[in-house]
Amino acid sequence: MEESTMNRSKAKPGKEARIAAKEPLPAPPVPKKLPFFKRLFKKQPNIFLTLIRQQAQITLEGLDALSNFMETQDPKAEALLTSKEKEADEVRRILIYELNKTFITPFDREDIFSLSRAIDDVLDYAYSTVTEIDILRVKPTPYMARMASLLRDAAFELNAAANRLEDHPGVASEHAQRAKALENRVEAVYREALADLFTGAEDIKHVVKMLKSREVYRHLSNAADRGDEAANLIADIVIKTT
């Protein structure tokens, strides 16, 4: 009799036990979704603007290395500039590939191509400057250091303009104007350097040294010209798209 009672008590669990056995585990929280129309019209990152920003950032890093090299003649700065020039070339190749396969672009495709090329040219001329210094065995002068420093500042403004172009075009235009002003300062130092360079030539050795230095100055001046063109293109894009 006792065994039967014990079996019944085991077979019939209490009310709390039955509830615990039947109660399902809590479901994991469901992540909130954006409303349909917000998902539909959510702005997606644009590949061309992303690549332009990458180019501008790499160019800034390369110009910073150029300025450092002019001040210190550190081989590590030269190696960094060489690396950045190759990195920027690859980004430009990707941009051209995307441009060729894309039908709709955020602004005129010719402007995209030209802006990318102008930014790329700035870094190319910076790289050529260091290459010429090595080949011609030119010792960097204070004028070269000043021009390189101003070019780095101009690259900073171009990078800021590229980053503001999509969401704050008016601010991008302001940065572009600052880059243009810095280009004018580079040209002023360039003319000052040439005037000093061609003063008081005494012999053929001095003339050869002048011609070598002029080549380096010319590359720096060309870098400034291409930076000015990039700034003009950014200003034009702002006018066309606002």
* Average pLDDT rounded to a whole number, residues 12-17: 49
User: Does the predicted TM-score (pTM) go above 0.85?
Assistant: no
Do residue 213 and residue 131 come from a single domain? yes
Question: Would 149 be classed as within a structural domain?
Answer: yes
Q: Could you give the CA distance from residue 235 to residue 176 in angstroms, rounded to a whole number?
A: 7
Q: Could you give the CA distance from residue 152 to residue 77 in angstroms, rounded to a whole number?
A: 14
* Average pLDDT rounded to a whole number, residues 164-193: 96
The total number of structural domains in the chain stands at 2
Instruction: Give residue for tokens 């080949």.
Output: 135
8 Å CB contact between 162 and 51: no
Do residue 22 and residue 61 come from a single domain? no
Do residue 161 and residue 235 come from a single domain? yes
User: What is the predicted pLDDT for the residue at 88?
Assistant: 97
Q: Could you give the CA distance from residue 139 to residue 157 in angstroms, rounded to a whole number?
A: 28
42 or 234, which is more confident? 234
User: What is the predicted pLDDT for the residue at 1?
Assistant: 44
* Average pLDDT rounded to a whole number, residues 123-129: 98
Do residue 65 and residue 22 come from a single domain? no
Question: Would 42 be classed as within a structural domain?
Answer: no
* Average pLDDT rounded to a whole number, residues 129-145: 96
Do residue 126 and residue 208 come from a single domain? yes
User: What is the predicted pLDDT for the residue at 37?
Assistant: 43
Do residue 14 and residue 120 come from a single domain? no
CA dihedral over 158, 220, 66, 144, signed as positive or negative: negative
Residue numbers of the domain that contains 25? 2-37
Q: Kindly report the CA angle at 238 between 124 and 171, in degrees rounded to 5? A: 85
Instruction: Give residue for tokens 């396969």.
Output: 101
Q: What percentage of the chain carries pLDDT values higher than 70?
A: 81
The model's pLDDT over 179-234, given as tens digits with 9 standing for 90+, comes to: 999 999 999 999 999 999 988 767 788 888 899 999 999 999 999 999 999 999 99
Task: Give residue 55's region: left, alpha or beta (phi > 0; psi -120 to 50).
Answer: alpha
Question: Would 82 be classed as within a structural domain?
Answer: yes
Q: Could you give the CA distance from residue 148 to residue 216 in angstroms, rounded to a whole number?
A: 11
* Average pLDDT rounded to a whole number, residues 165-184: 96
Do residue 101 and residue 144 come from a single domain? yes
Do residue 86 and residue 169 come from a single domain? yes
Do residue 28 and residue 94 come from a single domain? no
The four Cα atoms 106, 111, 115, 118 give a dihedral, to 10 degrees, of: 170
Closest CA to 55 of 82, 106, 95, 83: 95
Question: Would 192 be classed as within a structural domain?
Answer: yes
Question: Would 43 be classed as within a structural domain?
Answer: no
Do residue 24 and residue 117 come from a single domain? no
Closest CA to 179 of 199, 161, 196, 198: 161
Do residue 126 and residue 10 come from a single domain? no
Instruction: Give residue for tokens 């002029």.
Output: 214
Question: Would 231 be classed as within a structural domain?
Answer: yes
Which CATH number is 192's domain given? 1.20.58.220
In the predicted model, is pLDDT for residue 3 greater than 60?
no
Question: Would 203 be classed as within a structural domain?
Answer: yes
Question: Would 115 be classed as within a structural domain?
Answer: yes
110 or 198, which is more confident? 110
Q: Could you give the CA distance from residue 183 to residue 166 in angstroms, rounded to a whole number?
A: 24
Q: Kindly report the CA angle at 169 between 163 and 172, in degrees rounded to 5? A: 55
Q: What percentage of the chain carries pLDDT values higher than 90?
A: 71
User: What is the predicted pLDDT for the residue at 19?
Assistant: 45
Do residue 23 and residue 66 come from a single domain? no
